[in-house]
Amino acid sequence: MTATREAAPQALTRDQSVLTRLRWTASDAAVVTGRNLRHFVRQPQLLLFSTVQPVMFVLLFAFVFDGAIDVPTDDYLQYLLPGIFVQSVAFRAGQTAVGLAEDLDRGVIDRFRTLPMARSAVLAGRTFADLIRNLSIVVLMAGVGLLIGFRFEAGPAMALAAILVVSVFGYALSWVFAYVGLRAKGAEAAQSAGFVVMFPLVFASSVFVPISSMPPWLATFAGASPITHAADAARALSLGTGPALAPTLLSLASTAAVLAVFVPLSVRAYRRAR
Amino acid sequence: MSHAVEVRDLRKAYGSTIALDGVDLDVPAGSVIGLLGPNGAGKTTLVRILTTLLRPDAGHARILGLDVATQAGQLRPLIGLAGQSASVDELLTARENLRMVGRLYHLSSRVAERRADALITRFELDEAADRPVKGFSGGMRRRLDLAASLVNEPPVLFLDEPTTGLDPRSRLTLWAAIEDLVEEGTTLLLTTQYLEEADHLADRIVVIDRGQVIAQGTGDALKERVGGQVVDVRVADLAAVEHARSVLSALTHEPPASEGAVLSLATDDGVATLVRAAQKLEAAEIEVTDLAVRRPSLDEVFLTLTAHDDEEPAR
């Protein structure tokens, strides 16, 4: 009895300290997120081009490939737009690598590491800021899509779900590129690495064309790609042409798998970085 | 506690490159140690280990009694780092940088704000406080960097080459700021490539080369070991160097060193040596294009110190 009585207050303090630590971790991550969001606004050129680029992709693909590609939907724009959401977060994910590599190069990460802040906050703040940016870019693209005739056939709630599925997938990709950024030698290397990896992966998926139109070996590869899963889920949720639950769960599962691999890898790389 | 920083047999290697080869160092609380050494001597590695950025391979280091490797979490609130190793955020303003650092030290936002404002005034950054750091001059940037390391008012401060690359005026401003800190009782370890800087700021200078402490003492003590001043004589005709050497060798203990057309005489009294050198050279009809007294260069300090160590191997 005495032993339990003595142990109880100790356990309580430890719980409190865990709570306090959690609170500070959240606070640190919020501070770093705020700092990274400020960065977006302070680089007007980057902000402009990173906004124009996805809009340009929407317009180019919608008008150039309209009629040239056989898709299950009536017009190509309906097929394309949910795919372009995914393409856009996939291409943007490279910015996570660039941002981290720049912070490393400039010694900002070193300052962070001398502070008594949570070790995880730098990565959490970086990826969370990128999530917010992804979300706003997808919303913007949806707006442009609506202007040129796209319709969310399954209604606004499903449209929101589509945007969230794509954003969460983009969040997982940010962790992939956090790893790339921490391991690459410099920001430029990180940027090219991102492009070289993402470009073929995005085209070898159902983002622009149905995988049924691909040669069998490529279709097999594309069918297993988390990018295809995300595009299929976004499409099912946006268009309502078929069951949406299965593709959504599949995409969330492959997103979770990407996170399960790359969060620990990135955290370890951060601990060891330079 | 008598020593704020206590380093014992610290070792660190990067692959086959040995950065620290058994360093011992004590920094008494409230004192200023200048860590002097050339590029690649191991200064930055030592600072990075002491500021918890790197783990040593062997040996140990304690700051305020806390082990840098195993008690890093407790130690971090008590130390500050500025200079080459740590940097401010280019895209944030000076004020935002300081507030962010304050928040990451877990100060409340009101306290972080007050601390930022006070530091901005103290380091004379008021006018630029709300502009992004990107447009700052080198001197302003270093002042902000120093300010950022002081947000939590750490009792122990590390400055890694705080003035490298600054123009002389900015250097003087920064020195004044550092002197103020020292007066307030901060324990300071600063690394530098400049003997003059170590001499100006530090109570004690520790000379480090190839990962080892090769000498330590006050600035005066070190300079005495080197010989106080150097007289440089540049002869007009390269062929006259040997003639000049024999004429001048009577003036100093050591025969003059030469590089190209310049002969260097180490001496305790630069002006007297210069006058006598001028007379002797004129008498010998050797034409001279330049004649100057200067402080020994860092190279000469090192050459002398390492040579000295070789003569007294038992130490």
For tokens 């599962």, what's the residue?
A253
Q: Which residues pair with B206 in a beta bridge?
A: B35, B216
Whole-angstrom distance, CA of residue A55 vs CA of residue A51: 7
DSSP B249: G
Q: How many angstroms away from the CA of A117 is the closest CA of chain B?
A: 6
DSSP B31: -
ipTM over 0.85: no
Q: Find the mean pLDDT for residues B155-183.
A: 89
Question: Which of 3.40.50.300, 3.40.50.150, 3.40.50.720, 3.30.360.10 would CATH assign to domain B3-223?
Answer: 3.40.50.300
CB contact under 8 A, A116 and B96: no
The total number of residues shown for chain A amounts to 274
Q: Find the mean pLDDT for residues B248-262.
A: 84
Query: What is the structure's pLDDT at A218?
Result: 94
Q: Give residue ranges of B with CB < 8 Å to any A CB.
A: 51-53, 73, 76-77, 79-81, 84-92, 96, 100-101, 103-106, 132, 148
Q: Which of B77, B85, B104 sits opposite A31 (nearest CB)?
A: B104
CB contact under 8 A, A35 and B105: no
Q: Which residue of B has its CA nearest to A44?
A: B91
Query: What is the structure's pLDDT at A255?
Result: 96
Query: What is the structure's pLDDT at A10?
Result: 42
pLDDT more than 70, % of chain A: 93
Compute the half-sphere exposure of residue B88: CA atoms within 13 Å on the CB side of its CA.
32
Strand order in the sheet with B212-217: B79-83, B156-160, B187-192, B32-36, B204-209, B212-217
Q: Tens of pLDDT along A199-245?
A: 899 999 999 989 998 999 999 999 999 999 999 999 999 998 888 89
Q: How confident is the model at residue A33 (pLDDT cuts 50, 70, 90)?
A: very high
Segments making up each domain of chain A, as ranges: 2-272
CA–centroid distance for A89 within its chain:
6
Q: Over 90: is that where the pLDDT of A26 sits?
A: yes
Query: What is the structure's pLDDT at A222?
Result: 94
pLDDT higher at A189 or B97: B97
Q: Over 70: is that where the pLDDT of A42 sits?
A: yes
Judge residue A9's burial from the number of C-beta atoms within 10 Å of its C-beta, 0-12 exposed, 13-18 middle, 19 or more buried.
Answer: exposed
CB contact under 8 A, B53 and A113: yes
Q: Single out the residue of B45, B51, B53 nearest to residue B13, CA to CA.
A: B45
Q: Give residue ranges of A with CB < 8 Å to any B CB.
A: 24, 27-28, 31, 34-35, 38-39, 42-43, 106-108, 110-117, 121
Q: Tens of pLDDT along B13-59?
A: 998 999 999 999 999 999 999 998 888 889 999 999 999 999 999 99
Q: Find the mean pLDDT for residues B236-247.
A: 88
For residue B156, the SS3 value is: strand
CATH fold group of domain B229-294:
Alpha-Beta Plaits (3.30.70)
Q: Which of B92, B96, B101 sits opposite A115 (nearest CB)?
A: B101
Q: How confident is the model at residue B119 (pLDDT cuts 50, 70, 90)?
A: very high
Q: Over 50: is that where the pLDDT of A32 sits?
A: yes
The mean predicted confidence, pLDDT, of chain A is 87
Q: Tens of pLDDT along A159-186?
A: 999 999 999 999 999 999 999 999 888 8
Segments making up each domain of chain B, as ranges: 3-223, 229-294
Q: Over 70: is that where the pLDDT of B243 sits?
A: yes
Q: Which of A28, A43, A107 sits opposite B91 (nearest CB)?
A: A43
Q: How confident is the model at residue A273 (pLDDT cuts 50, 70, 90)?
A: low
Q: State the CB neighbour count (10 A cutoff) for residue B306.
A: 14
Query: What is the structure's pLDDT at B189?
Result: 95
Q: Find the mean pLDDT for residues B222-243.
A: 82
Q: How confident is the model at residue A16 (pLDDT cuts 50, 70, 90)?
A: low
Query: What is the structure's pLDDT at B226?
Result: 65
B88, B131 in Cβ contact below 8 A?
no
Query: What is the structure's pLDDT at B170?
Result: 85
For residue A30, the SS3 value is: helix
Query: What is the structure's pLDDT at A185?
Result: 82
What b/e sequence results for A180-210 when a residue is b if at least 16 CB atoms lie within 10 Å of its CB, and e otherwise?
Answer: bbbbbeebebbbebbeebbeebbebbbbbbb
Q: Which of B76, B92, B103 sits opposite A114 (nearest CB)?
A: B76
Q: How confident is the model at residue B228 (pLDDT cuts 50, 70, 90)?
A: confident
